[in-house]
């Protein structure tokens, strides 16, 4: 208990210094956030450029999407003018960047609906799916990962590790198909897919439709996350500070929760950022298995139909989200671990 | 005749015997029919590139035409009560049906008809029928119930072509996400990527539907669609795309499987402009070297139909031409030798990257290797197909599926991508349109059909089956789905 008393004394005698300290820490974080924002913007510009180049490298003219079999030369020319594919690439690129900066993602060639509004509608499916799936993954991964590390000498610790390896080896869509087969087709407990006509207004129907896909994501993402939690916990278990805390009289759970989690969280948070991004991409895959009208099905359809504005819009917004998650994870890391502040690691 | 055909006949008989009015309590008149489909419309306007899904959901259900193409393939009047054709065939006078109202409550007038036809022929229209209506030179509306259409040339197909024209209220404005038609159902709600709901229109001029509402549920994945039928989340699947999934329904008394006639043809299209495909003997040789029965079986199992030309059995000018170039590798080799290719030749087959084309390409590659012809498969995207083949005609041979009804007329256009140019066929097809009677039209097109088969203009591999699977308590749905239509008003669902 000795170490806690010492810390307490420091706390009382240095309130003024601490306020200053917090302020200077806040400036450090703010400065970091600004630098990190600049990096975010540069990454976004690079991503937009890559996106533009890749879409233009595809064979065929985007204007073809507007035409049917039987189009005349005049119609083809009109379509090219409408799409802008008759302009030089440099002109197209500048107007593309300008539109993106104004968040004007254009109008779909095929549905004639504004791309941004449609992405908004699709997010009502993909975002909850990603977040519920990710929450389930955390719910599996954190307690099980800690148990697997702390009890790695017991049979169930080892069993958790083995099962999580299996979870990583299985592709996400296959887990989805398996769950549909068991819970929808055989047991008839849950729907095999689909999203209600009136969306979240029929929230019970929408929520039951989310169960199997979210569980699929939770299981697969949880399995890979579990390994990181386990590894981070093992690192912490072998660390000097934990041994010191124990030597100073903390009980093992106390030492683990007071010092271990905060230290172990730093690597896990950076992984969480990456995993949340891949959960989002996993959601895009799983939507197809469950016929959910999310971003993923929008992207697949847009690719099939050569609907360039939609393809571009979905890819850009997805890239933006992934970059933002990385951004948030980096800031969170600095908030958790003062040692990292002042260092920029994009 | 296969078992499914018998089933189809049985289903038809059943719908006649127990059809509307036979036994009023046999079905639930307020039922919602849940239709599972892979073809979601992209928008709600059939002149704005909405895709085949809009025909499936809206033709005959939400919008009606002056005429309709029935599921059996005949053209019948709907919003037209009567019509007369002038002696020279250049003036059509239509009298509209009385008492028809749009969903918005406005009555149908001749001005709406004029507006609707002009919507299809407009500059920015993307309707597939735009070209076939191009002979229209004027639309007059002398009174509320009379429409007079004048043509620049005789067009025997005018009523047929008008069956593709939705009659839309002239005050409707933009209909890419709303509707104002005269059909037995109104649009209730549409959620992109998910579902489209129709409800019965109480002021419908005709016979009321035998159900209360229709819900089209859209799927992007065929397995997910089949699962929905298996778990009773939908009542009907409009078009099964692979035979693999049929086993789980075919032997199960809870489901009904019907096979109807489709108009979708899989073909190996040569570029008839370039050597060696400008030589009819070479084209005939490849036709005879193709074991089409085995190909069809490997893709569709026991479903589907073999065709000897581009014309499916539901077109009036169909004749069985499968005997013109039957499978005969020996005579194929002889024909090649006569054509000056005793050691065969090599060509590139531009193959679209989606099913079933890659599998078909591999099949043809191994078939033609047997007669010394080397096939180089070049996989391309649909977009490349459109640019390279359809627009630039820069190819030797390609695979494509052609879905349209009555599309033999493509062979009368020497500028079409496959470049088939037989002046006799061009003349026959032009004359058929100027025919003074349907008999004469049929006679001309049957003749054109025979000639393209003799010329082996393309290699017509097979006709896709049109397979509908439903829950056993649902009857009265269309089995052929011509022009992708899926009329819902006669569907009955028992409890």
In this complex, is the C-beta atom of A60 within 8 Å of any C-beta atom belonging to chain B? yes
Nearest to B386 among A60, A184, A193 (CB): A60
Contact A323, A44 (CB under 8 A): yes
SS3 of residue B239 by DSSP: coil
* Residue A67 confidence (pLDDT): 66
CA-to-CA distance for B212 and B413, rounded, in angstroms? 46
pLDDT per residue as tens, chain B (495 positions): 344 443 444 444 444 444 444 444 589 999 999 999 988 888 899 887 777 789 899 999 999 999 999 988 889 999 999 999 999 999 999 999 999 999 999 999 999 999 999 999 887 777 777 778 889 999 999 999 999 999 999 999 999 999 999 999 999 988 988 999 999 999 999 988 889 999 999 999 999 999 999 999 998 888 888 889 999 999 999 888 778 778 888 888 999 999 988 888 999 999 999 989 999 999 999 999 999 999 999 998 889 999 999 999 888 899 999 999 999 999 999 999 999 999 999 999 999 988 889 999 999 999 999 999 999 999 988 777 877 898 889 999 999 988 888 889 899 999 999 999 999 999 999 999 999 888 999 999 999 999 999 999 999 999 999 999 999 999 999 998 787 889 999 999 998
Q: What tens digit of pLDDT does each residue of A87-136 get?
A: 888 888 888 888 888 888 888 877 778 899 999 989 999 999 989 999 99
Residue of B nearest to A74 (CA): B123
Nearest to A180 among B130, B227, B391 (CB): B227
- Superfamily covering domain B265-463: Dipeptide-binding Protein; Domain 3 (3.10.105.10)
Q: C-alpha angle B442/B447/B450, rounded to 5°?
A: 125
Contact B51, B42 (CB under 8 A): yes
CA-to-CA distance for B240 and B249, rounded, in angstroms? 11
- Topology, domain B64-175: Dipeptide-binding Protein; domain 1 (3.90.76)
Answer yes or no: do B194 and A177 touch at CB < 8 A. Answer: no
- Tell me the pTM: 0.79
* Residue B8 confidence (pLDDT): 41
CA-to-CA distance for B489 and B213, rounded, in angstroms? 9
Reported ipTM: the value is 0.72
CA-to-CA distance for B465 and B356, rounded, in angstroms? 13
Taking the alpha carbons at both ends of chain B, their separation in whole angstroms is: 32
Rounded to a whole number, what is the distance in Å from the CA of A65 to chain B's nearest CA?
8
Rounded to a whole number, what is the distance in Å from the CA of A59 to chain B's nearest CA?
6
- CATH 3.10.105.10-classified regions of chain B: 265-463
Nearest to B192 among A78, A121, A177 (CB): A121
What is the three-state SS of B419-450?
CCCCHHHHHHHHHHHCCCCHHHHHHHHHHHHH
Residue among B290, B265, B288 at smallest CA distance from B338: B288
**Which residues face B347 on adjacent strands?**
B375
Q: What tens digit of pLDDT does each residue of A146-194 get?
A: 888 888 788 888 888 888 888 778 888 888 888 988 998 888 888 888 8
Residue among B236, B202, B201 at smallest CA distance from B219: B236
Helix (H) or strand (E) holding A143: helix A115-150
**Quick check: A75 pLDDT over 80?**
no
Nearest to B42 among A110, A293, A294 (CB): A110
State the DSSP code for B389: I
SS3 of residue A56 by DSSP: helix
**Quick check: A13 pLDDT over 70?**
no
CA-to-CA distance for A99 and B391, rounded, in angstroms? 31
CA-to-CA distance for B156 and B90, rounded, in angstroms? 10
| Proportion of chain A above pLDDT 90, given as a percent | 7
The CATH code of the domain at B30-62+183-262+466-495 is 3.40.190.10
**Quick check: A43 pLDDT over 60?**
yes
Rounded to a whole number, what is the distance in Å from the CA of A306 to chain B's nearest CA?
7
- CATH 3.40.190.10-classified regions of chain B: 30-62+183-262+466-495
Tell me which residues of chain A, numbers 102 to 121, contact chain B at a CB-CB cutoff of 8 Å. Answer: 108-113, 118, 121
CA-to-CA distance for A331 and B317, rounded, in angstroms? 72
Structure tokens at A49: 């450029």
Probe site for chain A from B37, B350, B386 (most A CB atoms < 10 A): B386
Contact A292, A282 (CB under 8 A): no
Residues of B in contact with A68 (CB under 8 A): 49, 126, 128
- CATH 3.90.76.10-classified regions of chain B: 64-175
CA-to-CA distance for B383 and A62, rounded, in angstroms? 8
Taking each helix axis from N to C terminus, what angle separates A261-289 and A308-336, rounded to the nearest 10 degrees? Answer: 160
SS3 of residue B400 by DSSP: strand
Taking the alpha carbons at both ends of chain A, their separation in whole angstroms is: 40
**Quick check: A195 pLDDT over 60?**
yes
**Quick check: A344 pLDDT over 50?**
no
Mean pLDDT, all residues of chain A: 81
CA-to-CA distance for A265 and A170, rounded, in angstroms? 27
SS3 of residue B452 by DSSP: helix
Nearest to A192 among B218, B224, B382 (CB): B224
* Residue B150 confidence (pLDDT): 96
* Residue B268 confidence (pLDDT): 96
Structure tokens at A87: 């302009």
Answer yes or no: do B192 and A118 touch at CB < 8 A. Answer: yes
């Amino acid at each position: 208990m000795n170490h806690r008393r010492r810390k307490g004394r420091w706390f009382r005698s240095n309130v003024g210094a601490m306020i200053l300290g917090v302020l200077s820490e806040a400036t450090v974080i703010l400065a970091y956030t600004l630098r990190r924002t600049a990096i975010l913007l540069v990454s976004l510009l690079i991503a937009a450029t890559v996106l533009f180049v890749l879409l233009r490298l595809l064979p065929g003219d985007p204007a073809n999407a507007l035409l049917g079999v039987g189009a005349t030369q005049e119609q083809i020319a009109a379509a090219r003018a409408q799409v802008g594919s008759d302009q030089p690439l440099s002109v197209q690129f500048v107007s593309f960047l300008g539109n993106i900066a104004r968040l004007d993602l254009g109008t779909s060639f095929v549905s004639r609906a504004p791309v941004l509004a449609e992405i908004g509608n699709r997010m009502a499916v993909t975002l909850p799916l990603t977040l519920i799936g990710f929450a389930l993954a955390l719910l599996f991964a954190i307690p099980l990962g800690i148990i697997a590390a702390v009890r790695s000498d017991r049979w169930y610790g080892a069993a958790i590790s083995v099962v999580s390896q299996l979870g990583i080896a299985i592709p996400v869509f296959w887990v989805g198909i398996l769950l549909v087969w068991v819970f929808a087709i055989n047991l008839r407990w849950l729907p095999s897919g689909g999203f209600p006509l009136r969306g979240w207004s029929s929230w019970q129907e929408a929520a039951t439709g989310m169960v199997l896909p979210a569980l699929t994501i939770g299981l697969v993402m949880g399995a890979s996350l579990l390994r990181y939690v386990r590894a981070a916990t093992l690192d912490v278990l072998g660390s000097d500070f934990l041994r010191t805390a124990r030597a100073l009289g903390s009980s093992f759970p106390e030492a683990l929760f007071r010092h271990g989690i905060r230290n172990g969280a730093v690597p896990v948070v950076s992984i969480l950022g990456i995993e949340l991004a891949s959960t989002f991409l996993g959601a895009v895959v799983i939507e197809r298995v469950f016929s959910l009208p999310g971003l993923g099905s929008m992207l697949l359809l847009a690719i099939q139909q050569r609907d360039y504005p939609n393809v571009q819009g979905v890819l850009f917004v997805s890239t933006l989200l992934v970059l933002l998650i990385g951004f948030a994870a980096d800031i969170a890391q600095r908030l958790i671990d003062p040692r990292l502040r002042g260092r920029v690691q994009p | 005749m296969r078992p499914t055909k018998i089933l189809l006949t049985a289903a038809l008989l059943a719908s006649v015997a127990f059809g509307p009015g036979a036994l009023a309590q046999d079905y639930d008149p307020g039922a919602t029919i849940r239709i599972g489909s892979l073809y979601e419309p992209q928008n709600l306007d059939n002149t704005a590139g909405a895709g085949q899904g809009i025909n499936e959901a809206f033709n005959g259900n939400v919008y009606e035409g002056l005429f309709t193409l029935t599921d059996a393939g005949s053209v019948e009047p709907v919003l037209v009560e009567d019509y007369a054709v002038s002696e020279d065939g250049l003036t059509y006078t239509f009298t509209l049906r009385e008492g028809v109202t749009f969903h918005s409550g406005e009555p149908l007038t001749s001005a709406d008809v004029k507006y609707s036809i002009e919507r299809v022929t407009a500059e920015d229209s993307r309707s597939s029928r735009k070209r076939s209506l191009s002979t229209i030179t004027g639309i007059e509306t002398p009174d509320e119930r009379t429409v007079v259409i004048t043509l620049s040339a005789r067009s025997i197909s005018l009523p047929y072509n008008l069956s593709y024209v939705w009659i839309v209220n002239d005050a409707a404005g933009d209909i890419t996400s709303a509707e104002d038609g005269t059909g037995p159902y109104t649009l209730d709600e549409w959620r992109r990527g998910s579902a489209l709901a129709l409800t019965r229109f109480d002021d419908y001029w005709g016979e009321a539907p035998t159900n209360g509402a229709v819900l089209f549920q859209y799927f992007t994945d065929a397995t997910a669609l089949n699962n929905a039928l298996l778990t009773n989340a939908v009542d009907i699947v409009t078009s099964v795309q692979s035979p693999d999934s049929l086993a789980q329904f075919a032997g199960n008394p809870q489901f009904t499987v019907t096979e109807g006639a489709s108009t979708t043809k899989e073909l190996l299209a040569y570029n008839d402009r370039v050597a060696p495909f400008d030589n009819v003997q070479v084209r005939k040789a490849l036709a005879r070297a193709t074991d089409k029965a085995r190909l069809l079986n490997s893709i569709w199992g026991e479903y589907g139909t073999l065709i000897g030309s581009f014309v499916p059995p539901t077109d009036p000018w169909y004749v069985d031409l499968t005997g013109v170039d039957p499978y005969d590798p020996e005579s194929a080799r002889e024909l090649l030798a006569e054509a000056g290719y005793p050691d065969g030749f090599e060509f590139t087959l531009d193959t679209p990257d989606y099913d079933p084309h890659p599998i078909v390409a591999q099949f043809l590659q191994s078939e033609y290797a047997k007669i010394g012809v080397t096939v180089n498969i070049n996989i391309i995207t649909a977009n490349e197909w459109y640019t390279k083949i359809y627009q630039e005609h820069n190819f030797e041979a390609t695979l494509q599926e052609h879905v349209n009804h009555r599309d033999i007329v493509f062979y009368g256009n020497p500028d079409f991508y496959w470049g088939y140019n037989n002046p006799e066929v061009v003349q026959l097809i032009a004359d058929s349109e100027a025919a003074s009677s349907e008999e004469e039209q049929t006679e001309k097109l049957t003749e054109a059909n025979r000639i393209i088969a003799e010329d082996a203009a393309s290699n017509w591999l097979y006709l896709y089956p049109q397979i509908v699977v439903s829950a056993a308590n649902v009857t009265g749905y269309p089995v052929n789905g011509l022009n992708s239509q899926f009329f819902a008003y006669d569907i009955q669902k028992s409890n």
